[in-house]
Each structure stands twice: as C-alpha cells, then as structure tokens.
Amino acid sequence: MPRVLDILNTPTTFLYETSALFLWCTLFLGQAWRLNGNACEKAVLIRAPDTLQTLLATHDSPEVRAACAYALGTYLSSSASDNELSERRTEQSKEVATVLVRSLNDGSPLVRQEVLVALHHFLILFAQTPTSGTNVASNPNRAGNLLNKTVFYKVTEAIQTVASSDPSHEMVQLTEAVLTRSLETLNTTFFQWCCSRFRESNTIVRDLGSGIAQQCGALYSEDEHDCFARSGRYWRNHCIRTNPSRLADFQHMRETMFNSRVSNAIPLVLRLHPYEDYLAVANSNGNLNFYEFDGTPCSKATLKVGAVGSIIDTLDFINAHDRTLICVGTDTGAIRIFDESTQRLISSWIALYDHQTQLHPSHHRPAAKPTANTSISTAPVKFSVDWNQQLCRIHASSSNIDYVALWDVERERCLYTMDAGTSGGVHCLLSDSNGYCAAGMGDGTVRCFDTRSRESAVHIIPSPT
C-alpha cells in the first residue's frame, strides 16, 4: 500500500500516459480495503484517504476520479461492517463524506454515480448513531454524536438536491434508490468495467479511412460505454484535423416556409448543421426537431432534450465534422450532450453552481420583491453557453450570476471561474481558439477575458452613448 501511495502522490503532467496507472492503483486500494478493517486502519495511519480525496478533486481524468470515489466508497463500506471504529477512523470517514459531497457537482455522470454510491455507504455507517441524551456533560459521547448527525444531515440534504436538479435521469433514479432503500447495499459495475478495459490489447490498429490508421486498442470500441469510447473519438478528431479537406461551396440562397407541426410550441433556438443540409429546431416544449431545408422532417425522431419546466436557451453542434453530438443548455444551468445518431444522452452536468455553498444558480441572486410603491417585473433567466471546438471547452454563464465558468469537456471538470466584476449578469458569450472570451453584460458593457490571466477582465468596452 505505501508503494501505491508513492505512485499516486507523484506529480505528473502526462495525463494520458499515467491515467491508466493511476486508475489501476486506485482500484487496487479499493479492493485492498474491501471488508478489511485492518487495512483500513493502516490506511488512516498513512493518510491514504487524504491522497484519494485530493485526486478526486483535482485529477483531470474522469475515470481516475470515479475510481477514487469507488475506493473511498469501499473504505466507508468496510467501516460500516465493523462493530467499533476508532475515533481517528470515525473522523476520517466524516472528512471523506464532506469531500464526496463537493464532488456531487462533478462534470462526469460516471464520477457522480460512484460518489453517490460512496455516500450511501456513509449513510449506512452513521444511520444508527444514537442521539438520546439531554446534556453533553452527562454524556461524553453526546458532542461527537451531534457532529455525526450534522454531517449525516448535510449528506442527506445534498443527495436530495441531486434528486431534484441533476440533469441525468440515471442519477435521479439512483438517488431515489439511495433515499428509499437507506439500509440496502447498492453496487455498480464500475470495477468489472475497468477490469475489462485492462484485459484488452492496447495495440489494435483500426483504419479510419483516407489512409489514417488508429492504434488505440482498449481506448475505443463500438460496444464500449461512451466514457471509454470518448478517448477514441478524441483521437479520430485529432487525425481528421491534421488532414483537412476543402469544404464544398454553399448553394444559392433560397427561401422556404414551413410549419413546425407542433401545436402551441414556439421555436426558441435554431441551428444549421455546418456540413449537412438540415436544420435543428428547439421549441418551448423542450423538444428538438430536425428538418430538411425544404421543410421535410428528417428521419430522426423528435428528441426530448429539456427537463419538465425548463426552457432551452442554447443549442450547438459538437464534432460536426465527424460523429455529431448536440449540446443543449437550459435555463436551470444544466448542459446535456446527446448523440445525434442514436439520440442517446452521452453526458450531462450542472454547469453553474455556487462553489462555496453548492447551491443552484437560482440561489445566487435572489429576485427583488415588489414593494407598495414599486412594481418590479423580473425577466426570465437566460443561460449562455459558448462551445469552442478547437479547445474542447465550454464557457457558461447566466443573466443572474456575475461570473463565467470555464469547463474542459474532455476532462469533464470545471477549470475555474472568471469574475465579471459587475452585477449586471452575463447575457451572451463568445470565445476563440487563442483563449480569449468576450461577455456581453447586463450593464451595457462588453468585457473581454484572457483565460491565461483569469483574475479579471483584460479589457472593458463601454456601452455606446
């Protein structure tokens, strides 16, 4: 175990070369702690859970972060199976739960799923903590029990928040299972899934067409889950970018009028596919429809992309040159990415949340209440998203918050947030491949940011008089 921790504590800048090693080491710790109280006690002495907590919050690979959550879950599960826990191990379990709660807002659904299962083990561990007693002085364990219950209630509240706001339907179902079956053990197939990856050869050569060969092996398989297939897509995109072809000339301008064929549905966002002749229409019912330029509906069925009660604000095509994905943003601050060919949800996360209080963005700035002398009409919240194909990054903000969040889609994590420096909110975003971002503010100004120097806006364009 100490040797494995030395590997995990080694700083490295080569993400793809070391992620498989870090994944294997983390899974090893999880299996070593499973139903092994002595190993867990030794892990506390050498501060192994602290190392995994750091990796869970900072590592760039979603698979490694999910493995950290899995290992911490086995640690809590082994603690729940023991009759008595040492005071140090109890405190360590509460620290682990606190870090896991913060990771419920991770950009990867795979990580959030493993975090939720790990928190379920914590609920089982402290569900039977006694709370009887009237005086802390008369009951020496009373103070510790109160602290345990405080962490217990915070975990329960965080899980309930996930049930009400997480954009992934699978996460909502798992959350309901955690809340309704609090004493039953929940397991996932993540460990078996990772083992199947290590059993495959890593030297398979695939022909991508046009003389492009891909040597990736276990990193890509058509039958694999999208989390691992993502690596293959990134490699194909890199090969295609290095072998560009000239785009065909656009056709002559023409005018077409057609109905959306959906009653009481207002088109909210329109997007033309940059390389194919069809149009994507997002309407007020939360549906996404596809039409040919002559108004003929495409063979693709209607896609339900928005949650009930949410409004679609943004719509973008991702990887339009290869395997097209659709990025949809709603006014709840949620981003959902769908596969256009299978119309299946690939990934989803809450892009805007308070990093300090872990609250939904609607809690950031409370709406002003009308008084007897004034009548205030609150405008609907507008969610702004800018997808950068070259950098695989998403800039996200909203009209009711005062910062811009920068997400790395490849790593599925928020890199940082940039303070807008004004209380007007952000109404539109635009970025380029050099790291510059422009934000249109509610006070009439345009603020330009350099992601390499994120302290504040590098240039402010005042509102025209």
pLDDT of residue 12: 72
> Strand, coil or helix: what is 371?
coil
Instruction: Compute the Cα dihedral for 13, 17, 21, 23 and give only its sign.
Output: positive
Residue bearing tokens 């030395």: 6
Q: Which of the given ranges, 98-102, 211-215, 447-451, has the highest pLDDT on average? A: 98-102
Is 50 exceeded by the pLDDT of residue 215? no
Give the length of the chain.
465
Q: 400-459, pLDDT tens digit by residue?
A: 898 999 999 989 999 989 888 877 889 999 999 888 999 999 888 899 988 887 666 777
Is 70 exceeded by the pLDDT of residue 119? yes
Task: pLDDT band for 261, please (50, 70, 90 cuts).
Answer: low
The percent of residues above 70 in pLDDT, for the chain, comes to 73
Residue spans of the domains in the chain: they are 2-192, 260-346, 351-364+375-465
CA distances from 352 to 44, 77, 101, 107, 386 (A): 34, 32, 16, 11, 14
Is 50 exceeded by the pLDDT of residue 276? yes
Q: Determine whether 250 is exposed, middle or buried from the number of CB atoms within 10 Å of its CB (0-12, 13-18, 19+).
A: exposed
Q: Determine whether 4 is exposed, middle or buried from the number of CB atoms within 10 Å of its CB (0-12, 13-18, 19+).
A: middle
Global pTM value:
0.78
pLDDT of residue 228: 55
What are the backbone angles phi and psi of residue 71, rounded to the nearest 5°?
A: -65, -40
Is 80 exceeded by the pLDDT of residue 214? no
Are 52 and 64 in contact, with CB atoms under 8 Å apart? no
User: How far is it, in rounded angstroms, from Cα 282 to Cα 331?
Assistant: 13
Q: Determine whether 379 is exposed, middle or buried from the number of CB atoms within 10 Å of its CB (0-12, 13-18, 19+).
A: exposed
Task: pLDDT band for 377, please (50, 70, 90 cuts).
Answer: very low
Q: Out of 3.40.50, 1.25.10, 2.40.128, 3.30.70, select the CATH number for domain 351-364+375-465.
A: 2.40.128
Comparing 131-135, 166-170, 201-205, the range with the smallest average pLDDT is 131-135
pLDDT of residue 28: 94
Are 301 and 345 in contact, with CB atoms under 8 Å apart? no
CATH topology of domain 2-192: Leucine-rich Repeat Variant (1.25.10)
Are 340 and 316 in contact, with CB atoms under 8 Å apart? no
* Assigned token pair, 315: 């719509």
Is 60 exceeded by the pLDDT of residue 17? yes
